[in-house]
Homo-oligomer: A and B are copies of this chain.
């Protein structure tokens, strides 16, 4: 069965990144979570990325803010799929810095970028990746989509009724 790594550049990213952990828990998917700073622990990052496949990870989710080098650098040191989560940190310029630092990778080294602060979608994307080899995950995702649909329909009813009053 698959296993996901969730890493982040700083523990201050945890309030955002734990959404990835929560959705993976909800979908019954194994994961490990830790802090790996590209800039303050560059060698730890190299080590982490180089042995990630051997340690049994299938996907790495990496969140970072500002000049966010963690997702791209990890992607350069492994051939596993890496999902980048741009984080709007305190001195960020509206999040543009982390978005562009993660998204605009040069040819050769892809990072799967999700929306600003989109850690939940990073977890769901990791699940979609696992679902190509794991039918249980595919089923969980199917159920998750159905529940989203039902939730929208319930809200639609509520909004429609408000009008009638």
Is the beta-carbon distance between B93 and A148 smaller than 8 angstroms? no
Output the residue of A11, A93, A96, A108 with the most chain B CB within 10 A. Answer: A108
Report the bound CA distance from A94 to B32 in whole Å: 33
- The answer to whether A28 has its CB under 8 Å from any CB of chain B is no
Chain B residues closer than 8 Å to A34, beta-carbon distance: 156, 159-160
- Quick check: B156 and A108 within 8 Å, CB to CB? no
User: Which chain B residues border A144 with CB–CB below 8 Å?
Assistant: 108
Q: How far is the CA of A128 from the CA of B14 in the complex (A)?
A: 26
Q: Which residues of B contact A72 (CB under 8 A)?
A: 38-39, 67, 69
5 A-B contacts (beta carbon < 8 Å) = A42-B76, A83-B112, A110-B122, A112-B113, A129-B129
